[in-house]
Amino acid sequence: MSKIVSFLKSLTRPVLDHYPELRDAITWDEHVAAGLRLELKHCPICKSNFRDHRYASFASIRIGKGFPSAQPFLDAIKKHEWDALMKHQSGKQDPDNAEACVIGCPIGGLAVLLVHTPFEPWDYASIDFCEVLKPEEGNAVEKQLAGRWRPLDMARVSPAG
């Protein structure tokens, strides 16, 4: 078991009974996917569970006192300035605590989210913004995210699934 998995398991042990999906998360990607499923409850596009859905994180920033203003990052999300947004990848000295993510629905369509990354891995009350993109905007974003997509459906990443 990797050090990060051991660390996450030790942190989340007290809450695993309340969030059984987190018990099966082994990698960080699986942990994030479980958190997104817990927070959203259903797909913002098709309103169903997350079977065959995917997600991608594509920009991040550190928000808080003592850090540069997050306003350009937030404006880029709301104005759909994807090229400007993708340049935000700080996390060099301090870990970022806000991410722009996209959820891809198998029936078609993308939703963009602003996720305030929690310090505690089990605290997923953190989605500050969610917008379903128009098809033409979704197509432009999808092209930029090649190779970054991760399964959102735990059954697709679980050895038992």
pLDDT digit string (tens) for the chain, length 161 residues: 455 545 555 554 444 555 566 667 777 778 778 888 888 889 999 999 999 999 998 888 888 788 788 888 889 999 999 888 888 776 555 667 788 889 999 999 999 998 876 544 445 557 888 999 998 888 888 888 888 899 998 665 444 43
Contact predicate 13/115, CB 8 Å: no
Contact predicate 110/133, CB 8 Å: yes
**CA 145 – CA 138 distance, rounded (Å):** 11
| Helix or strand holding residue 38 (H, E) | helix 28-40
pLDDT for the residue 104: 94
Contact predicate 85/76, CB 8 Å: yes
pLDDT for the residue 161: 39
**CA 120 – CA 96 distance, rounded (Å):** 13
pLDDT for the residue 22: 66
